[in-house]
Amino acid sequence: MRAISRRNLLGMGVGAAAALGVAGCATGTDTQSDKQRAKNAVQARPKLIGDGSTADTGPQPNQPKAPERLEPGQTPPQFVIFSWDGAGEVGNGLFPRFLQLAKDHGAAMTFFLSGLYLLPESKKDLYLPPNNRPGASDIGYLTDEHIKVTLKNVRQAWLEGHEVGTHFNGHFCTGSGSVKGWTPEQWQSEIDQAMDFVTKWRTHTGFQDMDPLPFDYRKELVGGRTPCLLGQENLLPTAKNLGWRYDASSPGGLQMWPRKKMGVWDYPLQQIPFPGHSFEVLSMDYNILANQSKNSTRAPSVNYPGWRRQATDSYISGFQRAYETNRAPFFIGNHFEEWNGGIYMDAVEEALKHIANEQHEDVRLVSFRQFTDWLDAQDPQVLAKLQGLSVGQQPAGGWKSYLAAA
C-alpha cells in the first residue's frame, strides 16, 4: 500500500480521513489489536469545530524552526513579507498562481481574508456593518462557485505554511459609514462577524461536501489590515484586548525596524523609491497604480510595459535599499486583481524572483506571523539598536561592531 503523509491526509474529507485512518494508517503487523488500530484512526481524524466549517488538525505544517536570538555582532536576516488583501478567488486564477510561486521559491505569505467572501449574497442580511445598512458592502459578494474555490485555496494556503489573517468585511472607505470613524466597540462587532463568516460557512452556504478549513481560526487569527489603511487608532485597543500580536494597517511608514503601538506590533506599508520621480510611493500595488494611472484600472494599454517595469523596479529598489543598509523588514501589499492588464501581478512576481535569487544571502520570505515570532524571540536591547537605524543607514562600523555590545 502506498504511503500517505499526514499532510495529505488532512487535506481529505472527514469521511475519507476516517476511512484511511483504519485502512491506510495502521503501521503495525497482523498482530496489532483492533483496539490499537481504532485508536490510531481516531488520532488521525481532524477534530471538527462548531458546525464543521473548521477543524483542529494540530500544529500548522511547513513552519520554520523555532526562531533563535541574534548572536552578538551577527548580521540580521533580511525579512520580506508579501501580503494579500481580500484573498478571494473570482475566477482569474491569481490565488493559485501565487501559491505556486511561493512554493517554487520557499516563501510564506500572509493572506488577509475578507470574511464576507465566505458569505453567500443570499444571506447578506446576516452582515450588520457598523454605521451602514444590513448587508451593505463596498466590495462584491462572491458567487457560490467562487466561495467554494476560495475555501479550497485558503485551505491549501494554510496547509502549505501561509498565514490567514483578516481584512475584515465590507471594506468601507468613504462617507459616514467609513471604517475611519468606527469605535473600538464597532471594530469588535466587525471582527466578531468576520469570525462567524469564516467559522460558520457550512451553515451559511449549505455546502456539505467540502472539507473543513484545517485550523481553529480563533487561535490562528493574530493580525489584520484595515480597509484603505484607515481606522487603526480605534482598532488597536480592540486588537490588544483580543490578544492580537500585530496590525498591518499603518500607511506611509518608513523602511525602518518596527515598533509596537499600544502593545501591538505595527507593520506599516512603507515608502519606497519610485523610479523617475522625486517622491516615494507606498509599497502596495494600488498605490503604485494611483500614481501611474490616476486610479484608473483600465488605462490605455500603450502604457503597460513602462508601468510594469517601473512597478517592478520600485519593489526591487525598496528591497535593495533595506538589504544593503539597515536590513529593515520589507512589507509588500497586493490584491488579486488584474488592474491595467495585470501588470502589477507581473511586477510582484518578478520582484519576488529577484529577491529570492541565491545571490542574496539570508533573505527570509515569511508571513507576518512568522516575522512576529522572530521579533518576540530577540533581545530587547538588540531590537532597540536595530530600531535606531534610519532609512538607508549603514550600521556604524559594520554589523559586527554595531551589535557587538547590544
* Distance, C-alpha 69 to centroid of its chain: 24
- pLDDT score at 207: 97
Binned at pLDDT 50, 70 and 90, residue 209 comes out as: very high
What does DSSP assign to residue 270? B
* Distance, C-alpha 75 to centroid of its chain: 26
pLDDT in tens, 158-191: 999 999 999 999 999 999 999 999 999 999 999 9
Spatial contact of 272 and 283, defined as CB atoms under 8 Å apart: yes
Tell me the average pLDDT across 283-288.
98
Q: Give the closest residue to 272 by CA, choosing from 250, 260, 256, 290.
A: 256
Give the global pTM: 0.89
Q: Each residue of 318-350: b (16+ CB within 10 Å) or e?
A: bbbbbbebbbbbbbbbbbbbbbbbebbbebbeb
pLDDT at 59 over 60: yes
Binned at pLDDT 50, 70 and 90, residue 34 comes out as: low
pLDDT in tens, 221-272: 999 999 999 999 999 999 999 999 999 999 989 999 999 999 999 999 999 9
pLDDT in tens, 38-48: 444 444 578 99
Grouping H, G, I as helix, E, B as strand and the rest as coil, residue 244 is coil
- pLDDT score at 20: 28
> Domain 78-399's class?
alpha beta
pLDDT at 21 over 50: no
pLDDT at 311 over 90: yes
In the chain, where does the domain assigned CATH 3.20.20.370 lie? 78-399
pLDDT at 387 over 70: yes
